[in-house]
Amino acid sequence: MAELPESHSRRDWLLRGLEVIVAATVAVLLYPVARFLRPRKQMQSGALEVVAPFRLNQLKLQAQPPFDFDGKPCLVVCTPEGEVRAFNAVCTHLDCTVGFRADHGDIFCQCHLGVYDLHGRNVSGPPPRSLEAYKVTLRGDKDKPGQEEIIVSRTT
């Protein structure tokens, strides 16, 4: 630092004030950087994955409506044997949203009476193709069985 005349206390205060404010601005700059570094929700693994907004026990209790998977509705069903399957809930006929029919144990489209079995295969009515199937992974606590999280991801 260059030599400063001794008695310029006003300049001292100016300098001190400057130091404080500069330090403050640098700290403020670090705030968005710190927020940026924190991981964002959902993307925990490599591929597109979505955690269903309900757990396994909720699904077994009551059929759950389709939720958002990559912009499309995703239907998760539980077979009588207890297997959990997930499908793209857009009907392959004319794009209505399909739903699980508990009394028939199948997947049903009420627009033109399309019926799919629990493998997503089109078994009756106008749908020309099976429903697109997704991969299901269960993730849960050892000491809380039955309450696993249902993670849906693409098969490829």
Binding site for other proteins (CB under 8 A): 1-3, 8, 10-11, 14-15, 17-18, 21-22, 24-25, 28, 32-33, 35-38, 40-41, 43, 68, 71-73, 93, 96-97, 110-113, 125-126, 128
Residue 73 and residue 67: Cα distance in Å, rounded?
A: 5
Q: Closest approach of Cβ 154 to other proteins, in Å? A: 12
| Closest distance of CB 32 from other proteins, Å | 4
Q: What is the dihedral of CA 50, 81, 101, 108, to 10 degrees?
A: 70
Residues paired with 68 in a beta bridge: 73
By beta-carbon proximity to other proteins, the closer residue of 102 and 138 is: 102
Q: How far is the CB of 79 from other proteins (least distance, A)?
A: 25
User: 3-class SS at 138?
Assistant: strand
- Closest approach, Cβ 37 to other proteins, in A, equals 7
Tell me the C-alpha distance between 51 and 46, whole Å: 14
Residue 63 or 148 with smaller CB distance to other proteins: 63
* Of residues 100, 78, 76, the one with CA closest to residue 88: 76
| Residue (94 or 102) nearer to other proteins, CB | 94
Q: Give me 125's structure tokens.
A: 């009515």
How many Cβ atoms sit within 10 Å of the Cβ of residue 120?
21
Closer to other proteins at the Cβ: 15 or 138? Answer: 15
